[in-house]
Amino acid sequence: MAEYEGMTVTSDVKSGNMVFEPILEEGVFRFDCSADDRNAAFPSLSFVNPKDRETPIMTTDKAPSFTPTFECVLGQQIVNLQLPAGTSFYGTGEVSGQLERTGKRVFTWNTDSWGYGPGTTSLYQSHPWVLAVLPNGETLGVLADTTKRCEIDLRQESTVKLVAPSSYPVVIFGPFPSATDVLISLSHAVGTVYMPPKWSLGYHQCRWSYDSDARVREIARTFREKGIPCDVLWMDIDYMNGFRCFTFDQACSPQ
C-alpha cells in the first residue's frame, strides 16, 4: 500500500534503485527503472543523435556518484535523487521568478502566459532539466528524457523529485568540477544553437501592441532622438486583420 498525492493505492507498486549504464562520454549515466523499461523506452527527442542515449560506452568502469531511486504508482514514475545537504538548484526551463530554483515546484505543461508573474511556473517552453550545485562546488545535471507532462519538485532539502508517466530514462551528467563542464557535456547530447546574427543580440523593444505603423515609426524616431540604441522593434498581434496570422489590418499596413 502506498500514498501519492492524497490517494491510497493498493495495487502492486514497483520501487527500488534505478539501474544504470554509462553513455555518451565519461561521467554521463543513463538510469532506468529496469532493463525491461530501458528496452521499452521511447526514442529520445532530447539527444541530437538518439543513438547516443541507446548505446553504452565500454571505455569506463566507473560507477555513478549518485543513484536515483524510483517508485511506479498509477502509471506514474516517481524518481528521487538525494544529494548532499546544502545543494542548490537551477534550470527547470522557461519559468518566471529567481534564477535559483531551490524550494520550487515546476511543471513542464506550457500555456500562453500573457499575464504571468513571479509565481507562474509554466510559460512557453518545456525543459525537464535541473542543474544542481553541490556544497563542494561540483555540479551535476539531471535530465528527465520525456516529452510528457513532468513535475519537477525541488521543495525537499537537497532532493530532485521527478514525476511523469512511466516509463522514461533519467540522464545524469557529472558531477563535474563546474557548471560550465556540465553544460558542455549536455551540449554534446542535445546539440548547440547556431551563432545568432549580431543584430539579434542588441536591444529589442516589444509590447502588446502598437495601433498603427505611424506609432511604430514614432517609437523608432524617439529612440534615435534620445540616443538609445535599439536594433529591433517588435509588434505583437494588433497589426493583424482580425488577429489572423500573415495578415495586416488596413490601418496598420505601411503606406
In the chain the domains, ranked by start, together with CATH numbers, are: 2-190 (2.60.40.1760), 194-255 (no CATH)
Dihedral class, residue 191 (left if φ above 0, else alpha if ψ from -120 to 50, else beta):
left
At 231, is the secondary structure helix, strand, or coil? coil
Rounded CA-CA distance 222/175 in Å is 50
At 201, is the secondary structure helix, strand, or coil? helix
Residue 13: per-residue pLDDT: 56
Q: Model-level pTM?
A: 0.82
Closest C-alpha to 44, from 147, 182, 191:
147
The label of the residue with cell 538510469 reads 31
**pLDDT over 70 for what percent of the chain?**
93
Residue 179: per-residue pLDDT: 97
Which pLDDT band, with edges at 50, 70 and 90, does 249 fall under? confident
At 145, is the secondary structure helix, strand, or coil? coil
Residue 169: per-residue pLDDT: 97
Rounded CA-CA distance 239/76 in Å is 44
Rounded CA-CA distance 132/174 in Å is 10
